[in-house]
Amino acid sequence: MVHLSLGFALGFVCSPVSQQCPSAKGFGEGGASWAATCLTPFAEKLAAFRRVVSPLLCEPFRLADGSDGQVLRPVVSSLEKLHQGDREPLYQSVYPDHPAKLKGPHKPVIVNGVLRRFLGLEVSTRPAITKFISNYVKEHDLQVPDDKTKFRPDADLRAVLDVDECTFFLISKYISPHLTKVELAGDAGQRLLEEFLSSVYGHQLPHDHPPPEQSPPNHALPDQPQPDHPPLEASAWCYGQDDIVVLRQQNGFFVDKTRFIVAMENDGSPHLVLLRPGRSGKSLLHSQMQVYHDINTNKELFDKVFINSDGSPTDAYVQSSGGTGNGARAYCVLHLDFSIQVEKGPGTLSMRQLFCNKLNRALKDFCDSYHLRVSSWVNNDALVNLEAAAVAVSAAGHQLLVLVDEYDRSFNQLMREDPASYQEAVAPACDLRPPGFLRAFYIRLKSLPRISKTRVRSFTTGIAPVALTDSSGWNVAWSLTHKEEFAECCGFSDADVERGLSQFGLTDAQYSQAMRLVRKFYNSYKFSGESKPLYLAAYIIFFFKTLHSDRRRRRAILQERDESTDAQLFHYMKDDNVSLSHNVTSVLRSSSRAAVAALQDAFQASKMLAVPLKQFESPFTLAELSPRTSPGEDLVRVAKARTFMDKSTSLVYQRALSLLFYHGVLSVREFREEDAVVVLSPPNLLLRLDHFVKLEEALQADAYFLERLIESPSCKDVTLLMDAVLHGWDSGALQLNFLFSEQCLSSTIEAAVGGWLRTQPAVNADLSTGRGRPLDLGRGKLGYYDLMLQNQSKDSRLLLELKVVRVNAIVFNDPAVSRASRSKGDYVDPAVDRYINALSDEEKLDLLLDPVWSAKHYRSCQTVREFVSLALQQLGRYHRSVGHPVRSFVVVLVGTRSLVAEYVDDHTNRSPGSRASAPPCSSARRPSP
């Protein structure tokens, strides 16, 4: 009976479907008519089938072939998926089967510039372009062998995507700059659209494919519960969108800052510079300037961008008389983005080559966009091509505007990862070599008006002034960074946030709660004395997007809570895509002790850090972050600076605080005009928590981990501490892959652990260094220990002696690893790091040392084991001089991996205060990584 019922049911359901609609498998032919005539009886038969099968699925039984009855579950699931009403076709070709379906992602777009030359098409759709590029990658064998989801574009495709490596999922993102909506192209766009429809679908539209019916709107009844998020369009909060045209097309949240564009035009200075922290909205400002000044901007596009959705004009629209004055639509605009992906490893292009290639690609697109005729083109000299493009602009009777965005992002990375390449970029000319390529670019840009005989303006944005100052060829630029009239050109004000928050339909209590949290976590970025406190744009858009799209975070943020528990919302308020810059902390830690002291002081909520106004606004070079005096004298100045902050005298300390200001770690608290001093402080709660919460998570323990470490230390616990500081901090602020001196290692631990202890006053632990506290080693000799952790009663102490073995001082058996260890100087190649990490403890200790390096730095030790033994002997002398009770450990950094060994005294039954002789090497415990 069971088998008969099943056979009857399967035939009852499936046979009529295949008979009545042979194309039901794909829903692609006659989908709407078939659904109307066939789906209703199909649903009835499906219900009858479920009534027969459901009891059988609940009780074990076997079919005629002996198989388990549970195999019917996939059958039922498949039939239910088949009945989904007006579903999209299971397979679609590149273009839909009817022009009425050309909407959403299939909406036609105008193809521009280099992408048009690559495709040979003027109009297409995003899926069609993506499929074409995907096929091109596979046909030309461009996929990465180890990961088929990635590919490396060839020269033609790289000109389109402007990346050196890409995934298939990101193709749509990188083609966006080359696409324009048809509506924005005016009559020409409509004509191209008609030609496209005619070529794809023919002059006569197919009648056997009627357009799909629109589903009726789903209006909620008055007594039905409403959703717990407001009915806003998700596109209103365009997170990460820096294209003003796309932002206005999607009716995204927009704050009118266009008055500053007109103010820059009327400033009178041909070359302007604006420095702001990352994620403050600089790229969006560039996009607005490009549309405003571009002679290719038609009236329709200008109105679309500079007239609000409610019909009100923006400030720039009014001041330019609708796009006819004040520099509107009057320039050929060359937009340059210097955020270059730094390549590492053997066989990669140098930074000079990457810079030249990117500038050449931008110049080619620029000349194509304005139909300029360049007299000559030199592939290996982009600066010559820049001059030729400027001359072509002059010949066409136009003016030139150069927009340089993210000028220092890549160079900030070079400062910490490859100082030699950084110096190559900014070095002055000498008898044997030309000037650095960044310096040469700005020298050439300064001379363009004289060469081209036309008006040339430029606007450069970045984060810090260091790279500009080092490339001192750019000494004619007028900085807007500290000018009060331009203080609010990037970022949102309090009124802007209130306007955005008012669109969520919150109750008064929820509105007050949200504004209080926003002010506490995001506010107080000030760039001038009398300016209003601002919010970084990325933080606010992230917050709005969270309230709209993340119900769990929305409930946690809007529920009533005591202000003392606000810190618990840190993970709800933090944008994981925004973190403290690796570059600023790395540069400061590797420059001087004074810079490390500034880094520590910056993260104390109660600290008011005063910097003289002259020093605060003066640019400085990378070399000026290192002290020119002796280390001892610099430390005295730091001590004075930290004691008398309003009269600080350490120039390095002041410059380090200024650098932290440029990176957004510090903000202006007040200007004291009477003594010309700027008072700095951390801007908000989010930044302070972000800096230290990661370290606490990396320690994998609560706040009292250090107390337990001091009272009962072990090699394992010391290793955990080292790994947490050097590798476990996810934000990367103190990741160690380039520091190779014991001083830098000590500064890293001091900045991380010491700064964290300052935020944990309840922890019974203190960190001290041996600087200025010599130990009496006997026989008239003095010694300085590296670091000591002790409790406040000083009855438990942990002494750390730090040593470093450079990777280029190790002799590796593998030739490839040996070459990689010497290829990047002070930078540890990832392949070398992986090789060392894979070694066992004994293998690490048995690594051979280069005789030349060993004679100079490691007392002629032949292996790492001998070097550890000598370090233990030195630690023994410190151990006896410090006094008891104390536990002493040697930490030897091999590459980026630490070996830890504990010093053990021979006289285990010694009384407190007694002295013991230095232990032989065999008395030390074996190092534990």
Contact by Cβ (8 Å): 436, 474? no
Structure tokens, 380: 């290996």
Calculate helix-pair angle for 651-662, 631-643, nearest 10 degrees. Answer: 60
**Residue indicated by tokens 């001196």:** 741
Give the pLDDT mean for 339-346: 71
More confident residue, 664 or 43: 664
Contact partners, residue 563, CB within 8 Å, separation at least 6: 516
Q: Tell me the sheet residues that pair with 610.
A: 679
If you compute the radius of gyration of the chain from its CA atoms, what whole number of angstroms results?
A: 34
Rounded Cα distance between 244 and 305, Å, is 7
Which pair of tokens denotes residue 210? Answer: 């009627």
Q: Hunting for tokens 């160690």 — which residue is that? A: 736
Instruction: Say whether 757 sits in a helix, a strand or coil.
Output: helix
> For residue 830, what pLDDT is reported?
72
Alpha-carbon distance of 145 to 817, in angstroms, equals 22
What are the DSSP calls for 161-201, one per residue? Answer: H--SSEEGGGHHHHHGGGEEEGGGGHHHHHHHHHHHHHHHH
The Cα 813–Cα 45 span in angstroms is 73
Which of 10-14, 247-251, 755-759, 812-816 has the weakest average pLDDT?
10-14
Give the C-alpha separation, 745 to 590, whole Å. 9
Angle between helices 494-501 and 537-549 (to 10 degrees): 10
The answer to whether residues 681 and 609 touch, using CB atoms and an 8 Å cutoff, is: yes
Query: Which of 116-120, 292-296, 918-922 has the weakest average pLDDT?
Result: 918-922
- The H-or-E segment that residue 630 falls in is none
Q: Which of 191-195, 337-341, 556-560, 758-762 has the highest mean pLDDT?
A: 556-560
Bond preceding residue 885 cis, omega within 30 of 0: yes
539 with 575: CB under 8 angstroms?
yes
Using an 8 Å Cβ cutoff, are 199 and 129 in contact?
no
Secondary structure (DSSP) of 769-803: E-TT--EEEETTEEE--SEEEE-TTSSSEEEEEEE
Mean pLDDT for the chain overall:
75
pTM of the prediction? Answer: 0.58
CA-based nearest residue to 621, from 468, 765, 498: 468
Q: What integer is the mean pLDDT of 754-765? A: 68
pLDDT of 812 over the 50 cut? yes
Distance CA 579, CA 538 (A): 12
- At residue 157, does pLDDT exceed 70? yes
Pairwise CA distance, residues 549 & 239, whole Å: 12
Q: Which helix (H) or strand (E) holds 115?
A: helix 113-119
SS3 458: strand
pLDDT confidence of residue 34: 40
pLDDT-derived band at 359, boundaries 50, 70, 90 = very high
* Nearest to 253, CA basis, from 528, 533, 677, 544: 544
Please report the pLDDT score of residue 640 as a whole number: 39
The DSSP element (H or E) to which 728 belongs, if any, is: none
Decide: residue 671, CB within 10 A, 0-12 exposed, 13-18 middle, 19+ buried: middle
Model confidence pLDDT, tens digit, residues 230-259 = 444 555 788 888 899 999 988 889 999 999
- 8 A C-beta contact, residue 804 and residue 742: yes
Task: State how far Cα 598 lies from the chain centre.
Answer: 24
| Nearest Cα residue to 89 out of 21, 180, 25, 153 | 25
Contact, 597 vs 653, CB < 8 A? yes
Nearest to residue 106, comparing CAs of 93, 87, 122? 93
pLDDT of residue 50: 61
- Inter-residue contact 866 to 803 (CB < 8 Å): no
The helix/strand/coil state of 267 is coil
* Least confident piece of the model among 112-116, 206-210, 608-612, 886-890: 206-210
Render pLDDT for 284-306 as a digit per residue (tens, 0 to 9): 999 999 999 999 999 999 999 99
Contact 105, 176 (CB under 8 A): no
Tell me which of 97-111, 245-259, 548-562 is least confident. 97-111
Q: Which of 167, 180, 43 is nearest to 109 (CA)?
A: 180
Among residues 362, 481, 351, 357, which one has the least CA distance to residue 411?
Answer: 351
Share of the chain above pLDDT 70, in %: 70
Looking at per-residue confidence, does 67 or 519 come out higher? 519
* Helix, strand, coil % in the chain, rounded to nearest 5: 50, 10, 40
What are the structure tokens assigned to 462, written together? 């970045």
The values of phi and psi at residue 308, to 5°, are -70, 165
810 phi/psi in degrees, rounded to 5: -100, 140
Per-residue CA distances from 629 to 54, 610, 626, 784 (Å): 86, 22, 9, 21
* Dist. CA 886–CA 879, nearest whole Å: 7
C-alpha 343, offset from chain centre: 17
pLDDT tens track for 682-725: 888 887 777 555 444 444 344 456 777 788 888 888 887 887 77
Q: Which two tokens stand for residue 767?
A: 């960190």
